[in-house]
Amino acid sequence: MIERIDEIEKRILGLQKRKDLVMDISRELIRFAGKAITMMHAGDMPKAKSMLDEIKALVKKLQKEDRGFEYNSQQAYQEYAEAAVLYSILKDDKIPTDKDLGIDEIAYLLGLLDSVGELKREVFEALRKNNTEKAEKLYEFMVEIHDSLLPLRFSSSLIGDFRKKQDVSRIQLESVSSELLSFRKR
C-alpha cells in the first residue's frame, strides 16, 4: 500500500464534507432570500427584516466555510445582495454598498443588477395603486443603479453574466420608462 493514501483520503473526505456544507448553506440562503423578497413585495417589511437577519447569520456562517468553494457560494451571496438592496431601498431610500453588506464585489454587482427587476415589480405595483410619487422614486433608483454600472465592462470569464444582466436592466428600465410615460399621459 502506498504511504499516506489514508491521510490523503481523510483530507479529501473533509473537503467533501465542507463542500456539502457550503452547498447546503447556499441553498438555504437562496431560499430565504427569495422568501424575503416575496415578503417585501407583499408589503410585510417586518417579516422581510426578520428573514434578512436570518440571512445575514447564514452569510457569516457561509463565509467561514467557503474558502476554496467560492464558485459554489457565489449565487447565494448574489441573492443576498439582491434582497438586501431591495430592502434598503424600500425601507431607507438608500442603496447599500458591498462593504455595508459584507460581501465581495462581484456578488454585490450581480445582485445589484438583479435588484433592478425587483424594483420594476415595485414600480408597477405602485402605479397599479396610483402612487406615482413612489413609482417615480423607485424608477430613479433603477436609473441610478443602471447608470452607475453602465460604464463597467468586464469579460464574462471574470464576472459571469454581468454584461447580460446589464442588458436586462436596460430593457427593464426602458419598460418602466415607457409605462411611466403612458401613465403620466392619462
How many C-beta neighbours within 10 Å does residue 39 have? Answer: 20
Q: Are 136 and 107 in contact (CB under 8 A)?
A: no
At 19 the pLDDT is: 95
Sign of torsion over alpha carbons 71, 60, 56, 146: negative
At 160 the pLDDT is: 83
Q: How many CA atoms lie within 13 A of 25 on its CB side?
A: 26
Alpha-carbon gap, residue 32 to 66, rounded angstroms: 19
Q: Name, in order, each residue with C-beta under 8 angstroms of 121's C-beta and a sequence gap of 6 or more.
A: 41
* Nearest to 84, CA basis, from 120, 37, 41: 37
At 75 the pLDDT is: 95
Q: What is the pLDDT of residues 133-169, one digit of tens each?
A: 999 999 999 999 999 999 998 877 788 889 999 999 9
Domains along the sequence of the chain with CATH: 5-184 (1.20.58.2140)
All residue ranges of the chain with pLDDT < 70 are: 186
